[in-house]
Structure 1
Amino acid sequence: MRDLLDTVNGYVFSNALVYLCLGAGLYFSIRSRFVQVRQVKEMVRLMLKGEKSPSGVSSFQALTMSLAGRIGTGNIAGVATAIAFGGPGAMFWMWAVAFLGASTSYVECTLGQVYKTRDDLTGEYRGGPAYYLSRAMAHTRAASAFKVYGLVFAAVTMLACGVLLPGVQANSMASAMSGAWGVSPWVIGVATVIVLAFVIIGGVKRIAAFASVVVPFMAVVYILLALIIVFANAGEVPGILKLIFESAFGLDAGFGAIVGSAVLWGVKRGVYSNEAGQGTGPHAAAAAEVSHPAKQGLVQAFAVYVDTLFVCSATGFLILSTGAYRVFEGESETGAVLAEGGDFLPADAAVGPSYAQAGFDTLWNGAGSTFIAVSLAFFCLTTIIAYYYMAETNLRFLLGRFNTIEIPGIRSTLGGTSTRILQAVILAAVVQGAVSTATEAWVLGDIGVGLMAWLNIVGIIILQQPAYKCLRDYERQKKSGLDPQFDPIALGIRGATFWENYDPSTGKDRVPAGERQAPTAPD
């Protein structure tokens, strides 16, 4: 089974996907005139300002929901793995995929807002790749093909977010906490399930409220403490920057042979961490209450910066400035050691959180394992919660196929039962991941990320045009001194059925609910 999974992972997360992520990001950057640079100030303003309603969360809550999915074990264990198998140069490629990926995130998250809908069972906003893949082309001859495309993405996302990805987070959390405190992974898995059950059963509002408190607090604390370590080793920073850039392009003799690995692992772990193009961000973006889709697209573009340029960079500089790393040949811990930062890292330290733990121990000896364990506990917990929300959103999409059933109560019964089954599955996946080996968990996680990224990036390359129309419309209205309001009909955007009946200026439907046609299955 292990050989089979490795083979599947080799095809799914191949070099082709790596270059697709980079190429798509560059293309979207050019098409949007580098929106990730031009609109940084507006991103920050929108992040701190926003409305919420009984149906939608605020822009900030949507951002934190998105960050809950982005900030997880990839920001600690993932960065360490990228350095171990790709060398210090992997950090440069993580930055590159974050910079380019910010434009990708803008496109996919704006599409998520344009084609969102109101959940027929809960009244909450729902959206994501499955929705825009099926709706954006509904008026064309390719409508049937894209309906199937949307269904496939929904099924893959339920598999990835409900089964494959939670195990990676649970495994890293359990490993760190077990190493720090000697607690059995089984105990950690069960305790995690209890906390998760309380949050996810409360629905999107409770998830948003939880994320809006926990994510900013832990991210800020982690970054500040990591920066204290880096400042304590400030004299090493110029040399580290030189090493990162030289090894990224094979200019350093010690890492010249693994420049390909630097690109692969930097992009691979960068995408895993910031999730730009993976299709996860649009789910949270669609839940926001905004007057124009571009608003949330810009906010979510900034989320990529927060994840990679802030949190991942904090981990990378922590590890490199303290010398708590080893670089292996052949992308395996069994390979020859090409370089190591110093003798502080224990000889038996496994690739992963132990690198960051050792880095913290250089200043606060003995405290590193506890701090990383606590950080991972919060980061991984919020990420699993975000995964559940995405899996549930795609379940709602699939259940939309039953909207034509006329039997009283059957849709609500089907929806409630299937939701409880999904909750049980993801909770079981958490326990299984906690007691699995790290290698098994990461292989499954990479397959999940890769499958979603392939489907989503190809889809948004085809469907990107409405995102640019939204951007131009938003910038035009801002230039005129207006608070931008979205009208898809005026922009020639078809399939945005929610917005066609919604008045952004009042936050209400233009047509009274009783006079509207009954909602149909997602197209």
Structure 2
Amino acid sequence: MESLATAVQDINDVYWYFVITILCIAGVWFTISTKAVQIRWIPEMLAGLKESPSDISDGQKGVSAFRAFTISAASRVGSANVAGVAIAITVGGPGAVFWMWVLAILGSATSFVESSLAQLYKVRRKDSYVGGPAYYIRDALGWKPVAIAFAVIITVTYGFVFNAVQSNSIAQSLGNQFSLEGTWPMFIIGAVVAILAGVIIFGGIHRLSAVTEIMVPIMAFAYVLVALFVVVINIGEVPGVLGLIIGHALGFKEVVGAGLGAAFMQGIRRGLFSNEAGMGSVPNAAATASVSHPVKQGLVQSLGVYFDTLLVCSATAFIILLSNPEYGGDPEGISLTQNALSNQVGHWAIGFLTIVIFFLAFSSILGNSYYGESNIRFLKDSDMAVNVFRVLVCLAVVGGAIGSIQVVWNLADLFMGFMATINLIALIPLAKIAIKLMRNYAEQKRQGLDPVFRREDIPEAKNVSAWDGSDPLTVRS
């Protein structure tokens, strides 16, 4: 296991310089070309959460904007926010947190572009819409082999690799809580999680979204509330922590074992794994929503980046940094966050965080599974294929629980890089369509209208199968 982890890490250390380059170029370009839509339209992001869906078929409501948001948040808000931030800080030092913040602000513009395009190129099924990068790569660009490659990679990445990461975090947190060691206890934990996940994912998108709609907000709110309490009782030390984060990120302060390069690399990697902006995963959730204009879901998913990184990841960072951890050593995951919170508020925090990470990581398994399922249907629209995929997801959950923490996280980095590369290369030529969608939306807002989109509004957007006026939400009054 150790040799595999080292081999994958060596590949990541080279390949990720390229990934970071195109991530930053795309984020800066989309921020400039949209005139910083991710900052200008924050009120519109909040308003977009409230839109109710229309009926997608007789007696079957579509997926609401808020439910689509919670599906993406279920995938985003998970072990990366608790265990991933801990790994970033122990390996890269406090400066890694600063680069997470930077990536979130730039990535929010990228998320706007990819999610708006996913809405535009979504495809209607009997009980819901489906879509994502594979669809806009095939239909907008005509790159069918590339679309197939992306669909395969995201299915493997989210269905198997990322779900192994989430399962590993659940097993690690329970092991730390109850002093469990050895393969068998971890196997049992993985098997129980797999059974629970199977009950939900075999119920389809509506059962899955009904669970995430409740689970994600409650757990995230409880976690952030406790983190705020930690900040309040240590309020005198907060300026020093902020100074440490910024100083180390910019090279003004050196931390033993964790230099500027390590902070930058870990911040970008863990930030992308957490908020997923530009990776091509969130558009799969964005496409499910029944809304009156594609930009509405683009804005909602931009808000999701802030919710994930600026709120939940920052909560973890302050819990850890206020406990003065060691930097530059071996990666530490959920156990570091548990122990740091325990030092601040008492031993009960380990149990509390075990519950939080269980539900957050479990909801991520559900969201991740939907991303894979959506792309299985792109490859072969067969219920049998989807059910086989669901079984394999459950097996991956069991395998992740007994796997090495370094192996599963290093593999996650590698596959995440592959996805981001394909998606960003596709987004750059398609950005002009997203900008025209944004202008169409803005013009209707200036006229005092609730924006509604029809595909004839942007005739240069070819092969759009939805937005023909059949959805009641898109009927102009």
Q: What residue is the counterpart of 1:153 in the other structure?
A: 150
Take 1:230 and 1:256, find their aligned partners in 2: how far apart are those partners?
Answer: 26
Is 1:135 aligned to residue 125 of structure 2? Answer: no
Take 1:285 and 1:136, find their aligned partners in 2: how far apart are those partners?
Answer: 17
1:391-430 superposed matches below 5 A = 391-399=372-380, 415-430=382-397
Q: Which of 166, 169, 174 is the aligned partner of 2:171?
A: 174
Q: What residue is the counterpart of 1:89 in the other structure?
A: 95
Take 1:168 and 1:371, find their aligned partners in 2: how far apart are those partners?
Answer: 20
Take 1:475 and 1:173, find their aligned partners in 2: how far apart are those partners?
Answer: 44
Structure 1 residues 34-59: Cα deviation after superposition (integer angstroms, max 9, x where no partner): 00110001101111333253363100
Q: Which of 397, 403, 407 is the aligned partner of 1:440?
A: 407
Is 1:165 aligned to residue 162 of structure 2? Answer: yes
Q: Secondary structure at the residue paired with 1:33?
A: coil
Take 1:447 and 1:169, find their aligned partners in 2: how far apart are those partners?
Answer: 16
Q: Do 2:273 and 2:416's aligned partners in 1 also have CA atoms closer than 8 Å?
A: yes
Identity %: 37
Is 1:321 aligned to residue 322 of structure 2? Answer: yes
Distance 1:52 1:60, change over 3 A: farther
Q: What residue is the counterpart of 1:72 in the other structure?
A: 78
Q: Which of 37, 40, 50 is the aligned partner of 2:39?
A: 37
Take 2:212 and 2:396, find their aligned partners in 1: how far apart are those partners?
Answer: 21
Distance 1:257 1:91, change over 3 A: closer
Q: Do 1:485 and 1:504's aligned partners in 2 also have CA atoms closer than 8 Å?
A: no
Take 2:256 and 2:178, find their aligned partners in 1: how far apart are those partners?
Answer: 36
Q: Do 1:167 and 1:445's aligned partners in 2 also have CA atoms closer than 8 Å?
A: no
Q: What residue is the counterpart of 1:210 in the other structure?
A: 211
Q: Do 1:116 and 1:131's aligned partners in 2 also have CA atoms closer than 8 Å?
A: yes
Is 1:15 aligned to residue 17 of structure 2? Answer: yes
Instruction: Quote how far apart the aligned CAs of 1:256 are.
Output: 10
Instruction: Quote how far apart the aligned CAs of 1:215 are.
Output: 0.2
Structure 1 residues 72-101: Cα deviation after superposition (integer angstroms, max 9, x where no partner): 111011111111111111111000000000
Deviates more, 1:39-48 or 1:283-292: 39-48
Instruction: Quote how far apart the aligned CAs of 1:18 are.
Output: 1.6
Distance 1:201 1:277, change over 3 A: same
Take 1:238 and 1:490, find their aligned partners in 2: how far apart are those partners?
Answer: 50
RMSD: 1.8
Name the aligned partner's letter for residue 30 of structure 1: I
Q: What residue is the counterpart of 1:56 in the other structure?
A: 62
Q: What residue is the counterpart of 1:386 in the other structure?
A: 367
Q: Secondary structure at the residue paired with 1:290?
A: coil
Is 1:485 aligned to residue 461 of structure 2? Answer: no
Q: What residue is the counterpart of 1:336 in the other structure?
A: none
Take 1:48 and 1:399, find their aligned partners in 2: how far apart are those partners?
Answer: 34
Structure 1 residues 239-263: Cα deviation after superposition (integer angstroms, max 9, x where no partner): 1111111110101144697111111
Question: Please, which runs of 5 or more residues in structure 1 have no aligned partner?
Answer: 138-142, 334-349, 401-414, 510-523
Instruction: Quote how far apart the aligned CAs of 1:503 are.
Output: 4.0
Q: Do 1:488 and 1:496's aligned partners in 2 also have CA atoms closer than 8 Å?
A: no
Q: Do 1:188 and 1:434's aligned partners in 2 also have CA atoms closer than 8 Å?
A: yes
1:219-298 superposed matches below 5 A = 219-254=220-255, 258-298=259-299
Question: Please, which runs of 5 or more residues in structure 2 have no aligned partner?
Answer: none
Structure 1 residues 436-479: Cα deviation after superposition (integer angstroms, max 9, x where no partner): 11111111211221111111111111211111111110011011
Instruction: Quote how far apart the aligned CAs of 1:135 are.
Output: 0.5
Name the aligned partner's letter for residue 68 of structure 2: A
Q: Secondary structure at the residue paired with 2:279?
A: coil
Q: Which of 352, 355, 361 is the aligned partner of 2:342?
A: 361
Distance 1:198 1:493, change over 3 A: farther
Q: What residue is the counterpart of 2:312 in the other structure?
A: 311
Q: Which of 422, 435, 449 is the aligned partner of 2:416?
A: 449
Q: Secondary structure at the residue paired with 2:345?
A: coil
Q: Secondary structure at the residue paired with 2:94?
A: coil
Take 2:471 and 2:37, find their aligned partners in 1: how far apart are those partners?
Answer: 24
Structure 1 residues 106-141: Cα deviation after superposition (integer angstroms, max 9, x where no partner): 00000100000013xx4421000000000112xxxx
Q: Do 2:70 and 2:209's aligned partners in 1 also have CA atoms closer than 8 Å?
A: yes
Name the aligned partner's letter for residue 85 of structure 2: V
Take 1:55 and 1:450, find their aligned partners in 2: how far apart are those partners?
Answer: 36
Take 2:456 and 2:275, find their aligned partners in 1: how far apart are those partners?
Answer: 33
TM-score normalised by length of structure 2: 0.94
Take 1:161 and 1:89, find their aligned partners in 2: how far apart are those partners?
Answer: 28
Looking at CA atoms only, which structure, 1 or 2, has the larger radius of gyration? 1
Q: Do 1:486 and 1:504's aligned partners in 2 also have CA atoms closer than 8 Å?
A: no
Take 1:493 and 1:199, find their aligned partners in 2: how far apart are those partners?
Answer: 40
Take 1:500 and 1:278, find their aligned partners in 2: how far apart are those partners?
Answer: 25
Distance 1:500 1:315, change over 3 A: closer
Q: What residue is the counterpart of 2:121 in the other structure?
A: 115
